Structure 1
Amino acid sequence: MPAMHGFSYKNGSLSCEDVQLSALAEEYGTPLYVYSAGTIVDHFQRLDKAMEGVDHEVAYAVKANSNLSVLRLLATHGAGFDIVSGGELFRVIKAGGDPAHCTFAGVGKTREEIVYALEQGIYSFNVESEEELRYLNQVAGELNLIAPAAVRVNPNVDAKTHKYISTGKSENKFGVDFEAISGLYARAAAELPNIKLRGLQMHIGSQLTSIAPFIEAVEKVIPLVLELKAKYGIEFWSIGGGIGIIYKDSLESGSVDWWAAQPEEERPLTIERYGKELVPRLKDLGLKILLEPGRYIVGNAGVLITKCLYEKKGSAKTFKIVDAGMNDLIRPALYEGHHEIVPLNEPASAERVKVDVVGPICESGDFFCQDRELPDFNPGDHIALMSAGAYGFAMASNYNSRPLPAEILVEGGTATVIRKRQTLEDVIAGEL
């Protein structure tokens, strides 16, 4: 079955769990991010359950949404964490997460980040090159410490996703070529006394909606994993994240009726199918399996609410100008990311108009959709950009000196401010 989420129309008003979004927009202003705690927990638990039968840990990818309250929510339900910076490790610790359940990925770790992570006792560094592994050994030696490490293998599997979020091919900047891994582990074992070879890591890309690339990558890497286990006693294999979510028709796609109406061959990948295909391939390896989901956990758990400011009708197009911009949600401008756009008040008719929904930023790329048919809305009305829980606020900026929006976490009928809206004084704080 499809993953459910906490957003639906109730009595004609779009709600997050039991809270009307229009009430939040009126009280806290816009642009405004709103997250469903129930959705976050449900998605985490569904993935955890899907992997039953395998010794495993779900390590949430902090980069998807790093708000402290989101991290704390996941930590209290037993999540580990996949981090890509010292700042993300700092956040996890502040939120109550355990560094011993953190893996540190990324191609450009600095000395300061390595020292901090070693001092905090993280579970493993996911290393992206031989040069990095040797530098990690050097820094650990200077501190008289042993650095736990896993090398990221690049299996050269085409995830068939957008080129900006593909990571598993030999042309990508991530990882070490498949053919070079055995030699690298041999040299590390012989030459790097301050490295403990704890595991192997891979990640082939993001927003995968087919099971085939996952199966291809796992089956290709299993012989390598068994070789490394036999020779060096590795204890874990991180198979990465990348499980896709539904962006189009996201408001309807959580329903059983919507799912049943889709042709079987076009139904998106479910987490149950993911587990059904991978668990039999992983359960007899005798290794702990780490998963690194981000988008799957939080993507459909969040929306961005924005207010229509003006309607501009030209000879070629009709523009709906809203108060959110690409600085608040950059996915459409950065890699043509799609977000369903719905009014907070349920439309009375099925009539639609073709429009561009654009923001106030001085860039032609500042749009949320182009030439899309939407239910009509007018200046003063509020709309929601759906599926904005991942890579939304986490990638937001102060471009055009715009304050960052507030964030709200909803649990049942309770809405809590988990980040205050920036003031203009906040925007220039620290400048001289």
Structure 2
Amino acid sequence: MYKDSERRSTLIGAAVKERLLHPIDQPLASFIDWERLRENVSALHAAFPEDLQVLHAFAVKANSLVPVLRQLRNLGLGAEVASEGELAAALEAGHEPARIVFDSPAKTTRELARALELGVSINVDNFQELDRIIELRSRIASTSEIGIRLNPQIGAGTIAAMSTAGQRTKFGIPLRDPGVRERLVSTYLANPWLTRAHTHVGSQGCSLELIASGVSELVSFADEVNERAGRRQIRTLDIGGGLPVDFASDEPISRFDDYVEALRIGAPRLFSGDYGIVTEFGRSVLAKHGIVAAFVEYTKEVGGQRIAITHAGAQVATRTVFMPEAWPLRVEVFDAEGRSRTGEGTREQDVAGPCCFAGDLVARGRELPVIQPGDIVALLDTGAYYASTPFSYNSLPVAPVYGVELQGDDPRFDEVRSGERVLEAVRA
């Protein structure tokens, strides 16, 4: 989230002083740095040529909190949603329907009708869904731009669960299965209101070259449809997102320039001006600009291994706990007043959460300053998919999330999401 530990120390110290973090009243909270977020979004806008029509639709699943979506809307981003709830959050945040893209492999008839009524763009996942839309369009006058999601079947990255262009992925229509490409082209030609096409190769674990290869397949398909139609039927290409995030450094700006350069090399036709472009970045927009901070309740020695028991575990770091090899997080240690313990002697330690199962560990065998009860542990790079997507294990209350503006040594906080009280967490 920040360039150095001193900046994090300033934030955590101020949060402790204002009792947003408190060892008894509030031992767990999350923070988003608005300044760093603005810088990163500016880098995203600047990476793409000014002469192209580009809509950057933030992947709402990465952080669906309405104040966050409102900030992103104010920074010129649209929204990509994958459920009724995400659509409602985007609308609540003030996103215009025409700047919202609806993706989901399991859209219901009600959801499709709502999207068509609003004029939300739709990426169709399969032929059965397309049949539903054809029937709904016979009854609903709609301004929605509609396209089909193609699976280019070019292969998976290093994290299978994050790859969506394999031979048997659940998403989209497989472009290389026998007879499917011709059926897709014929479907476009028979339905001239299909004016978009979409692909998404994957995210973390997918190389830029793999992503560019998938986009190249998309452009080639669109060119084929337009040539056979004898006109510019497909006008917009939704190229998804998927830029991998650097979880190993403090660099706050994502590699959007590298992403665009990879596309220039692997899919140069994308920049011809013949197509409008939609992107769906999520993690790369927000991950580096958030931290989860938790007090350490106890420490213990077990079989020679030192373990720190904290209040941040699977309920805020679900992916890291269940897939630690794929989703490791950097951990930083502060004292009870927010002063960094950087520079002190280290020891191999486990950092555990509060959930009642043995695997609830956010760091395993990590060399860290010797953690003491009352210290604060910070999980870095957690602005996306962590505190914003809580896991209600053990009926643990949802932790608060705060936005922060750092003005010198005087951070200013605003509440993004209030924390739950215990009775709220268990109320039906």
1:314/1:296 Cα in 2 relative to 1: closer, same or farther (>3 Å)?
same
* Alpha-carbon contact 1:115-1:139 (below 8 Å) kept: yes
Q: What are the equivalent positions in structure 2 for 1:17-416 lying under 5 Å apart?
A: 20-23=14-17, 24-26=20-22, 29-52=26-49, 53-122=51-120, 124-143=121-140, 145=142, 148-179=145-176, 180-187=180-187, 189-190=189-190, 196-208=193-205, 210-230=207-227, 231=229, 233-248=233-248, 250-251=249-250, 253-254=251-252, 270-279=255-264, 281=268, 282-336=270-324, 337-344=327-334, 345-347=339-341, 349-412=343-406, 413-416=411-414
SS of residue matched to 2:165: coil
- For residues 348 and 216 of structure 1, the distance between their equivalents in structure 2, rounded to whole angstroms, comes to 42
Deviation at 1:106, TM superposition (A): 1.1
* Alpha-carbon contact 1:241-1:293 (below 8 Å) kept: yes
1:371/1:6 Cα in 2 relative to 1: closer, same or farther (>3 Å)?
closer
Deviations 1:271-314 (A, max 9, x none): 22222332471211510011110001100110100111111211
- For residues 151 and 92 of structure 1, the distance between their equivalents in structure 2, rounded to whole angstroms, comes to 22
Scaled by the length of structure 2, the TM-score of the pair is 0.88
Deviation at 1:215, TM superposition (A): 2.5
Give the gaps of 5 or more residues in structure 1. 256-268
Deviations 1:7-53 (A, max 9, x none): 53338x6234x974544424972311100111222211211110124
Decide which of 8, 13, 16 is 2:4's aligned counterpart.
8
Q: Which moved further from structure 2: 270-279 or 284-293?
A: 270-279
- For residues 315 and 32 of structure 1, the distance between their equivalents in structure 2, rounded to whole angstroms, comes to 31
- For residues 299 and 398 of structure 1, the distance between their equivalents in structure 2, rounded to whole angstroms, comes to 21
* Alpha-carbon contact 1:208-1:243 (below 8 Å) kept: no
- For residues 86 and 348 of structure 1, the distance between their equivalents in structure 2, rounded to whole angstroms, comes to 44
- For residues 22 and 157 of structure 1, the distance between their equivalents in structure 2, rounded to whole angstroms, comes to 49
- For 1:338, the aligned partner's letter is P
* Alpha-carbon contact 1:55-1:283 (below 8 Å) kept: no
- For residues 182 and 309 of structure 1, the distance between their equivalents in structure 2, rounded to whole angstroms, comes to 62
- For residues 93 and 254 of structure 1, the distance between their equivalents in structure 2, rounded to whole angstroms, comes to 28
Deviations 1:89-143 (A, max 9, x none): 1111111111110110010011221122122211x21111111111222233243
* Alpha-carbon contact 1:14-1:22 (below 8 Å) kept: no
Deviation at 1:156, TM superposition (A): 1.5
Deviation at 1:359, TM superposition (A): 1.1
- For residues 188 and 222 of structure 2, the distance between their equivalents in structure 1, rounded to whole angstroms, comes to 16
- For residues 335 and 299 of structure 1, the distance between their equivalents in structure 2, rounded to whole angstroms, comes to 17
1:223/1:209 Cα in 2 relative to 1: closer, same or farther (>3 Å)?
closer
Match of 1:264 in 2: none
* Alpha-carbon contact 1:66-1:91 (below 8 Å) kept: yes
Scaled by the length of structure 1, the TM-score of the pair is 0.87
- For residues 375 and 321 of structure 1, the distance between their equivalents in structure 2, rounded to whole angstroms, comes to 15
1:129/1:284 Cα in 2 relative to 1: closer, same or farther (>3 Å)?
same
SS of residue matched to 1:378: coil
- For residues 35 and 237 of structure 2, the distance between their equivalents in structure 1, rounded to whole angstroms, comes to 29
SS of residue matched to 2:213: helix
1:415/1:397 Cα in 2 relative to 1: closer, same or farther (>3 Å)?
same
1:397/1:254 Cα in 2 relative to 1: closer, same or farther (>3 Å)?
closer
Q: Which moved further from structure 2: 221-230 or 379-388?
A: 221-230
1:246/1:360 Cα in 2 relative to 1: closer, same or farther (>3 Å)?
same
Q: What is the total number of aligned residue pairs between the two structures?
A: 405
* Alpha-carbon contact 1:107-1:174 (below 8 Å) kept: yes
Deviation at 1:350, TM superposition (A): 4.6
* Alpha-carbon contact 2:125-2:149 (below 8 Å) kept: yes
- For 1:294, the aligned partner's letter is G
- For 2:105, the aligned partner's letter is V
- For residues 333 and 323 of structure 1, the distance between their equivalents in structure 2, rounded to whole angstroms, comes to 13
1:198/1:393 Cα in 2 relative to 1: closer, same or farther (>3 Å)?
farther
1:343/1:21 Cα in 2 relative to 1: closer, same or farther (>3 Å)?
farther
1:409/1:84 Cα in 2 relative to 1: closer, same or farther (>3 Å)?
same
- For 2:330, the aligned partner's letter is E
- For 1:25, the aligned partner's letter is L
1:99/1:174 Cα in 2 relative to 1: closer, same or farther (>3 Å)?
same
Deviation at 1:189, TM superposition (A): 4.1
1:98/1:144 Cα in 2 relative to 1: closer, same or farther (>3 Å)?
closer
1:347/1:170 Cα in 2 relative to 1: closer, same or farther (>3 Å)?
same
- For residues 200 and 166 of structure 1, the distance between their equivalents in structure 2, rounded to whole angstroms, comes to 19
1:19/1:314 Cα in 2 relative to 1: closer, same or farther (>3 Å)?
closer
1:81/1:399 Cα in 2 relative to 1: closer, same or farther (>3 Å)?
same
Deviation at 1:210, TM superposition (A): 3.5
